[in-house]
Amino acid sequence: MSLLNAKIAAARKRWGVTIFYLDSNSLYYFPEKIEGLPHAFSWHWDPEMLRQVTEAHPDVLIVPEHKGFQTYAYGAAYVQTNYHKYASTPAHVRREYPGAFSVIQAGGTTDERRGELVQAVRDGDILFFDAWYPSSTNKAVKEIYAEAAK
């Protein structure tokens, strides 16, 4: 965790970065399937680790790729609409953490999930897009924000 804290501090100092996507904050292990034993193992960061990072850097937003319920207490959850069944911060999370929000990668699902995404933006979720090339999703994201503002 000290390495992550050092990297965040360096990026803040050098580039003024305040939003960090935390990729692969989990461990997956897929041993051979043995009868009577689980054949997959998954571990996600302990929420306490995320709490410690956000306390060390209260001026940044951490967006972990993999999330648990308590992720919302210390950061914004990453949601990918072509993978997750939901396209916004779940209602039970908002009840427990009223300021909770998600960062949503809408990908190529902006047409079929438009209504969900408009409501998600109205509720405080953030859509992000691939800014390094002229993706067709970029226009749709701008339109969704315009519609949500009405």
**pLDDT score for 123:** 96
Range of the domain at 74: 2-148
Please check the confidence at residue 46 and state whether its pLDDT lies above 80: no
Average pLDDT over residues 76-93: 87
Q: What is the pTM of this model?
A: 0.81
Average pLDDT over residues 30-56: 67
Number of domains in the chain: 1
pLDDT in tens, 87-117: 899 999 999 999 999 999 887 778 888 999 9
B/e letters for 90-124, b = 16+ CB within 10 Å, e = fewer, are eeebbeebeebbbbbbbeebbeebbebbbebbeee
